[in-house]
Amino acid sequence: MECLRKQANKIPVLQRLEDLTKIDKTYILLGACLFCVAIIMATPFGPIVTSTIGIVIPLQETLVILKQVNPKRDEIKHMLVFWMVFGILTSLDAYSGPILRFVPLWYTIKFFFVLWAGPLRFKAGLVLYDNILIRIPEHWYTGQCGIESAVRKATDAVKTVAENEFKKKDAEDAKKVD
């Protein structure tokens, strides 16, 4: 509760609300947090609240890092990892929404994950990088397979078809001349 009190002291609006309502600002903050969780769990606004929190907090920290003259390497790595993970989670929401509706508390889990992964103070980006992302084989994303090889195969196939069509056309034109 002391930690919550310290956080409540950092938010000036809570002091004004405490003066108006005579309710301790710690309880106002706790109520606001519980209200957010209730909205996420029990209303269709869960995805909106989760995405908004997932963008606002890290965006603020990203802008602070971008304005630094010499940002720390770990800060940059953290933000890159966060935005990559947030993009994956957002894509999951967009393309697997009907399936994710059957996952109990999906948006609540995503909400707390984003609250953990976004702020720099938790170093979640480094934890994710050191424990998960570092283990992804490099050839999966360096072009030795995947998209570049698919593009190369498609280019070769189109080139072959085009060459064959030109040869057929030349042969037909040669027959017409004879």
Distance CA 147, CA 175 (A): 42
pLDDT digit string (tens) for the chain, length 178 residues: 788 888 888 888 989 999 999 999 999 999 998 998 999 988 888 889 899 989 998 999 999 999 999 999 999 999 999 999 999 998 988 888 888 878 888 888 999 999 899 998 889 999 999 999 999 888 777 765 667 777 788 899 999 988 988 888 888 888 877 6
pTM comes to 0.68
Distance CA 155, CA 172 (A): 26
Distance CA 126, CA 117 (A): 9
Q: Which residue's entry shows tokens 């034109």?
A: 173
Distance CA 178, CA 142 (A): 53
Q: What one-letter code names the amino acid at 164?
A: N
Rounded to the nearest 5°, which phi and psi values hold at 71? -65, 150
